[in-house]
Chain A
């Protein structure tokens, strides 16, 4: 039996997701979009974890475990990030990342 979906497919998918995420992170000006890009990056990692777990060590659950862990961390991270974005919006009346430069020299 030949496998229709191999590990290469997962690799290609996660690489694409990762670089789409990085591209979004570097070019988008809207903070919400940047946050979405980060989610893309994190999820590409999750896909890698699960895929490698399945194809390399099917008897272990380490990859699944880490994927769950990353999802949990991503959820909390989103909560904090949204809180920051909301308070920024209250202060600046916009969520454009170029205007958030309070921390410069």
Chain B
């Protein structure tokens, strides 16, 4: 039996590319750095596809079920018999699937950036950071150990920070990158505490141990309780907070729309297809633990996901920045995945939600990357993000138009495009478990179709706007990636996903459920038609609706004032009520007491320094006098 040692090359080659272009990038022509990075990601992609083939079709299956393969496992830091931090590679259906998604989207983004970032002064820096990001993301999905996941999790956060702040001379980009870093870092604190709690009660960091349904971790834990919930539930909820930060779940979603300040291909790679689904991935990774030890934590996941998806979809309907619409759409779709995980059971058909979530992750990565790259193509052509300044672009950019349309149809869930299949599975899984959540997700499906086609009609139809220069189609290297991703988005739905990725590794067969599919598609079509009538031609009706909705529209447009709430909490409460008094205390009490001690020392030494006369005989006299004094004292004491 062949082993999987070559999978080690997939992330490591990217790390070397990062070091190489990061250190030596300035010495070469920018295009050379780009080529080196693209070549290495190409090798990674080829190896990932080969791994996927080997895993899914040749040797992953044992007794009809896909099993976990520990490719290797190096002990790095040992705490006691059961607790150690290891570095290694773990292959199972979801990690292999993520390998394929990450490397493929990353390859597309690398190719696309050759055209999009051409002439940018930070070209090789950009490529170095792209390599770093892809390396860390691959490390994250391949980790064998939850602590290794945590390390790569932070690395991913750092590279996201670096890439959002790519245009570091733009103040908005700088503040956006800081915001993204601080918000996710804040959430990661929860993650870290969760890991420590979990390790304390489950007794292991190792995924093999943690996710084994018969393993001691699951059986032993859940005994200690705190505030009515078991300690493991608290740990899993804290881990979910980390996931919510990375995956932009309410109320930690505020960084994602701002992260759109980064270059558009970065948004496509990090903030749509890969990094933001890391949270979903981690919950899927720990799924057996969630389902067997704390269904309450899963309920939290489901409700937070559902609320976020509705919330973000409503906001997406009102935004006018093309990338922000897509950002909120991403948040909404990740909410979908969370809901699916939250309602899922374990094993076979019960695990439909799990499989649907992973399926949606897969298809969403394709069509959302396509949408972002399409948006990038538009921005490249007319140099603005505002959809009000766009219109009738289909005349100028036919390829972008068609691929964007395919992606919109896919995300809206129109058969036979990929989004239809994955969304259908999610809705079926939800309706079986929780009808209330189903209603929410059903409404979101309609809203999704509406806001995507609102975007589509405003940008590609509507009235032609005045452009500074005639918009032109993007260079062919960008179009190739668009077409490739469009093909993927169109056909990815036909992959029999449940044959490969299931909660317990046992394949099962799914089919379209007409009683869910028909109403969903109908609603999506209604959404599309509404957008069609409102935005196909320029008309006053959108404004009328806007005015009649009044307050609701305004608050949705301002993203329900969540940013303002954060500003209020941080600026007014934390800053004014806590930081300012502490700063005052530091400056006036602590500093001045230190200054007082220094001043007193100075004063006293100024007074007594004259004792130090430099006269040798004076010193000798004092010494002799002291000796005699001591002598007399001793004699006096002895004779007493």
Q: Which of B405-456 contact A (CB under 8 A)?
A: none
**A59 interfacial by beta-carbon distance below 8 Å:** no
**A3 interfacial by beta-carbon distance below 8 Å:** no
Set A26, A103, A105: member contacting B617, Cβ < 8 A:
A26
Q: Which of A1-41 contact B (CB under 8 A)?
A: 22, 25-27
**A101 interfacial by beta-carbon distance below 8 Å:** yes
Considering only CB atoms, which chain A residue lies closest to B616 in the complex?
Answer: A97
Complex CA–CA separation, A105 to B624 (angstroms) = 22
Considering only CB atoms, which chain B residue lies closest to A22 in the complex?
Answer: B624
Complex CA–CA separation, A68 to B613 (angstroms) = 36
Complex CA–CA separation, A85 to B620 (angstroms) = 18
Set A22, A25, A102: member contacting B614, Cβ < 8 A:
A102
Complex CA–CA separation, A57 to B614 (angstroms) = 44
Identify the interface centre among A25, A26, A100, A101: most chain B CB within 10 Å of its CB: A26
Task: Indicate if the CB atoms of A25 and B617 lie closer than 8 Å.
Answer: yes
How many residues of chain B are within 8 Å of chain A by beta carbon?
A: 11
Task: Indicate if the CB atoms of B613 and A104 lie closer than 8 Å.
Answer: yes
What B residues does A102 contact at CB under 8 A? Answer: 614
Task: Indicate if the CB atoms of B614 and A103 lie closer than 8 Å.
Answer: yes
Complex CA–CA separation, A22 to B615 (angstroms) = 16
**B610 interfacial by beta-carbon distance below 8 Å:** yes
Complex CA–CA separation, A101 to B613 (angstroms) = 7
What B residues does A104 contact at CB under 8 A? Answer: 612-615
B397 to chain A, nearest CB (A): 85
Q: A97-B616, A98-B615 are in contact. Are A105 and B609 (CB under 8 A)?
A: yes
Q: A105-B609, A105-B610 are in contact. Are A100 and B624 (CB under 8 A)?
A: no
Complex CA–CA separation, A42 to B282 (angstroms) = 86
Task: Indicate if the CB atoms of B610 and A100 lie closer than 8 Å.
Answer: no
**B6 interfacial by beta-carbon distance below 8 Å:** no
Complex CA–CA separation, A102 to B616 (angstroms) = 11
Complex CA–CA separation, A39 to B100 (angstroms) = 95
**B621 interfacial by beta-carbon distance below 8 Å:** yes
Complex CA–CA separation, A103 to B616 (angstroms) = 10
A13 to chain B, nearest CB (A): 20
What B residues does A22 contact at CB under 8 A? Answer: 624
Contact indicator per residue, chain B 587-628, by CB within 8 Å of chain A (1) or not (0): 000000000000000000000011011111100110010000
Chain B positions within 8 Å of A, measured between CB atoms, are: 609-610, 612-617, 620-621, 624
Chain A positions within 8 Å of B, measured between CB atoms, are: 22, 25-27, 97-98, 100-105
Q: A26-B617, A104-B615 are in contact. List 5 more A-B contacts (CB 8 A).
A: A22-B624, A26-B620, A97-B617, A100-B614, A101-B614
Shortest beta-carbon contacts, A-B, top 5 = A104-B614, A101-B614, A105-B609, A105-B612, A103-B614
